[in-house]
């Protein structure tokens, strides 16, 4: 199902959950550091880059697009960490590991809305996500750094 909203189109699955994609962005194979971005709604809060799927877009393409739009990064999409459900907000988010190869000095959302990005250790990232987006801390539990 597709719903039009001012300046955006929202895609829903058969159960009425909004389809989203996100990236846990890492520097290297150890997955011990993650890149977070400031929230578009609250510039003092950090979040995992992600957003809604566009019409006829697969989750993998959406995740890479969101990483570029929100974090100004390019790289390689890796394994899927899972599909995470937020029943309160009616979202289902496909979450992928994204190996960062390039950090652009300027990107659209930094210029338009002042979005920032910052590298955190996994432990620090869990702490800052727990303050504002506790459901996103679950994404990090499947990283290599958390399994060792």
In what helix (H) or strand (E) does residue 89 lie, and over which residues does it extend?
A: none
Question: Exactly one of 57, 69, 103, 124 is catalytic; which is it?
Answer: 69
Known catalytic membership, residue 124: no
Contact 104/13 with Cβ under 8 angstroms? no
Sign of the torsion formed by the C-alpha atoms of 78, 61, 116 and 85: negative
Q: Name the nearest CA neighbour of 36 among 125, 135, 133.
A: 125
Instruction: Give the residue numbers marked as catalytic.
Output: 69
């Amino acid at each position: 199902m597709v719903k039009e909203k001012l300046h955006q189109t929202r895609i829903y699955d058969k159960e009425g959950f909004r389809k989203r994609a996100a990236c846990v962005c890492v520097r290297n194979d150890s997955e011990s550091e993650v890149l977070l971005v400031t929230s578009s709604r609250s510039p003092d809060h950090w979040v995992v880059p992600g957003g809604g799927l566009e019409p006829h877009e697969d989750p993998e393409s959406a995740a890479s697009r969101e990483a570029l739009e929100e974090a100004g990064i390019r790289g390689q999409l890796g394994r899927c960490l899972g599909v995470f459900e937020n029943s309160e907000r009616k979202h289902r988010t496909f979450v992928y590991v994204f190996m960062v190869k390039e950090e652009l000095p300027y990107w659209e959302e930094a210029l338009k809305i002042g979005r920032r990005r910052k590298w955190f250790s996994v432990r620090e990232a869990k702490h800052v996500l727990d303050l504002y987006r506790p459901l996103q801390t679950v994404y990090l539990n499947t990283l290599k750094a958390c399994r060792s």
